[in-house]
Structure 1
């Protein structure tokens, strides 16, 4: 039974559009410069102003004539405009045309941990989605879940935690969902595969992966459904409790399945 999407298709970045609205939207999502990044600055018609430099810890880059120019936190396009404006305001050039390119990406990274083939830290080289980061980490390994945990710490130090299912990020309806983009300092964690168990009067008792949100009815369907000897009104769910005990109750068909749940279908007495 196929329960994983082991092949990640990483989409290429969209081509730049020549319309101001889409261009501005793309710029808003673009990579922001930071300390440690190396940049190449070219001023049209002024080769003596061409500069290759590393952004310092103070967020500035050294430019001929201008000295230190703060560009950290800006996109490459924004930084080019700032430098051009400084050249014009300083009286050095009229209608300055500046192009700035990132030659080394060093300031932003995310950690990808858990059940991936190449866990570790990944340097962001532009706008990066959750699925792209997983691909860069070699994909999910054989023991990994499709449940992906994203941990993010905001500027105030507050931590948030969200969960995503890989299948939902890549299925035919993914284009209707919001793209999950990563930010500097994010951590992705792929836990071990969640499982549930089905025993008793079903066609295929055994252990199954929770590859998407499931309820009791769906779980029984995955196990082949009840056999002819099953009591259709007697499905018992056993669930491990945090304190170490096991809770037992009659299962509701639309009750969500959790990791470690055991479903037992009793035999009919008639």
Structure 2
């Protein structure tokens, strides 16, 4: 009888260990708004100087993150906010070119993040400030029938780190890759 009770206890402990809950999803609240957004390769930027059509342009940043801007030459945009670029162009144009330049710099299109795995439309999508895993899934058309809705991983572009079991409220940043796992049942 003691052996039978011991076997039942061992069997129950094995079964309970298999039913243990998975760790809670990783949460994150590091969303980026448009004023804090740092420009990088793949962003499309509009530069407008009032009443100066030769100084108004739309550029897509390459990997160098710099452009050759009329009159002032090399201008690095990568790693700066739109308002920082605005201030720099204004300041540099004042030095011998325009008395009171009225410069506006804005982001026409953010660089992409990517959604792959068991999603209806795996692809790259333009980042939007406040992007979350849930919004990224919606942009990708939602889960496929085979998707494991709890197997959500995120490869961070900034570090290359793979975060597993992320929550749907976790933020997604430009260049990140969201991976939707496949369910087996």
Which TM-score band (shorter chain)?
0.5 to 0.7
Q: For 1:137 and 1:25, locate their aligned partners in 2 and report how far apart those are by CA, in whole Å.
A: 22
Runs (5+) with no aligned partner, structure 1: 1-23, 170-179, 196-270
Q: 1:81: how far off?
A: 1.7
Q: 1:113: how far off?
A: 1.6
The structure with the larger Rg is 1
Aligned length: 153
Q: What is the aligned partner in structure 2 of residue 192 from structure 1?
A: 182
* 2:35 equivalent to 1:27: yes
Choose from 163, 166, 170 the match for 2:165.
Answer: 163
* 2:72 equivalent to 1:59: no
Q: 1:153: how far off?
A: 4.9
Query: What RMSD, in angstroms, separates the aligned Cα atoms of the two structures?
Result: 2.8
Runs (5+) with no aligned partner, structure 2: 1-31
Q: What is the aligned partner in structure 2 of residue 251 from structure 1?
A: none
Compared CA separation, residues 60 and 127, structure 1 to 2 (3 A) = farther
* 2:153 equivalent to 1:149: yes
Compared CA separation, residues 68 and 153, structure 1 to 2 (3 A) = closer
After superposition, residues 1-270 of structure 1 pair within 5 angstroms as 27-28=35-36, 30=37, 32-88=38-94, 90-105=95-110, 108-147=111-150, 148-155=152-159, 157=160, 159-166=161-168, 169=169, 180-193=170-183
TM-score scaled by length of structure 1:
0.49
Q: What is the aligned partner in structure 2 of residue 260 from structure 1?
A: none
TM-score scaled by length of structure 2:
0.67
Deviations 1:14-68 (A, max 9, x none): xxxxxxxxxx97512x3x3223433321112433422233334321122221112
